[in-house]
Amino acid sequence: MSLAGRLRCHLFGIRSVHGSFERGGLDPGAGARLDRIADALVVGHHAALEAPDAKSLHWRLSATPRPFRGTAYEGAGMGLAARDLVTPRRDRVGEFSATYAGPYRYHLHVGVGLALARRRRSPEERLPWLDPLLGWVAADGYGFYDALFRRQSRGPLVALPGGWTPFAQQLFDQGVGRALWLGLGGDAGLIRREVRAFPEPRHGALWSGLGLAAAYAGGTPDQLAALRGAAPQRRVELAVGATLAAWSRAIAASPVEHTDTACRILTGQGAATLAAIAEATRAELPVISPMPLAKLWRDRIGFRVDQLSHPPAPIGRGRSSAGDTRRVSRDGVRPGDWCQRAP
């Protein structure tokens, strides 16, 4: 390891993440179960801090076992972003994303969020340097980090960062939801109690995160069925999360069995079906949109997934609320809805 690499590891390195589970709010046993995930994250992170260039980083990450490679890339995103933040003229994340990150670009951008959270830098400020669609998941990584390392002793587990747009906050909560699944060991009862401590408008995104983590990391069939039963009214949000997990597994060409099983239990559809939905909606995204592309994508996934389980109602029973005569596009999203004030 070069001297500069060692210095960087000393400055930005992670000693251990295991301790974070033993402090209040999360299940102490989770640390042991998450050993391998945490290890992959740290390996990727340190590889990014040490590696002199993108190519050698790529080789080191390729040595990790396939099911954990996504997590290693997440760690790498964290390391590269940490270096970018101190040298504003360099764009290592962008370079790596354009060259070697390929199928793991989703994970890479989640990792960027972890680094931003450590430095308390808003992901939205960083967006112009990130991928136009996947860059938004940095906010998800930020939320995940806060749920692990910045928990509150009273009230909801994690406070929303101020000054963010509502969509970024939604993704933040998705990250918190992911941390809840991993941190509470998939216990639906505990999860439901923890979610109830959050204000109601945040619940949807939390359930998306729970669905994402449950489908990505898996769980026992009983746990998954209990998760689905715990929030019948959040079925669509749960399914959106599962769909994103299935998509990221499919793009990375690492279809693992537990993701497929989890998708079937949570949504009634196989991982391949869900991934195909996500990919088809992604390919249809426009170039210019007043809505962040990532939000458009999520909303459309939600609409399509909802349609799968509920075929469209017969004509005459529209999906929009009564009296609303504004134009509704084919995915049920009204233009301008997301950023306008109430009339």
Partner 1 sequence: MVLRVAPAPSALSTKTPHLPSVAKRVFQLSADDFPRRAVGCVGTHADLDRTWESVRPVATTLVDAFYATLDLRDPDAVSDALDELPCELRGIGYEGAGMGLMALDTLSPRGWRLRRFILGRGAPHQCLVYLGAGMTLARVPGNPMRFVNRHDPALRWLLLDGYGFFDGFFRWERCLTRPPALPGYGPNAYDQGVGRSLWFLTGADVTRIRDIIAGFAVGRRPDLWSGVGLACAYAVGVHDGQTVAALRRAAGPLVAQVAVGAAVAALFREQSGQHAPFTDLACSALWDLDGYSVAALAHEAGRSLAHTPVAPPSDRYPRWRAAIHAAWLEGPTAPGRDTADEPAGSRVEASCP
What does the binding site for partner 1 look like in residue numbers (CB under 8 A)? 94, 97-98, 102-103, 105, 124-125, 127-128, 131-132, 165, 168, 251, 279, 282-292, 335-336, 339-341
Least distance to partner 1 from the beta carbon of 116, Å? 14
**Nearest CB to partner 1, comparing residues 32 and 98:** 98
**Nearest CB to partner 1, comparing residues 3 and 283:** 283
Least distance to partner 1 from the beta carbon of 286, Å? 5
**Nearest CB to partner 1, comparing residues 53 and 284:** 284
Residue/partner pairs of 330-335 with CB below 8 Å, 24 or more apart: 331/299, 331/300, 331/303, 331/304, 332/299, 332/303, 333/291, 333/296, 333/299, 333/300, 333/303, 335/290
Exposure of 307 in the CB half-sphere (CA atoms within 13 A): 14
Least distance to partner 1 from the beta carbon of 150, Å? 23
Do 91 and 84 meet the contact criterion of CB atoms below 8 Å apart? yes
CA distance 46 to 278: 32
**Nearest CB to partner 1, comparing residues 61 and 195:** 61
**Nearest CB to partner 1, comparing residues 317 and 341:** 341
In 3D space, the residue among 116, 133, 137, 134 whose CA is nearest the CA of residue 125 turns out to be 116
**Nearest CB to partner 1, comparing residues 99 and 220:** 99
Least distance to partner 1 from the beta carbon of 93, Å? 11
Least distance to partner 1 from the beta carbon of 124, Å? 6
Do 217 and 37 meet the contact criterion of CB atoms below 8 Å apart? yes
CA distance 176 to 171: 9
Least distance to partner 1 from the beta carbon of 49, Å? 23
Token pair of 162, please? 């101020």
Least distance to partner 1 from the beta carbon of 133, Å? 8
CA distance 114 to 166: 19
CA distance 300 to 296: 6
**Nearest CB to partner 1, comparing residues 169 and 223:** 169
Do 146 and 176 meet the contact criterion of CB atoms below 8 Å apart? yes
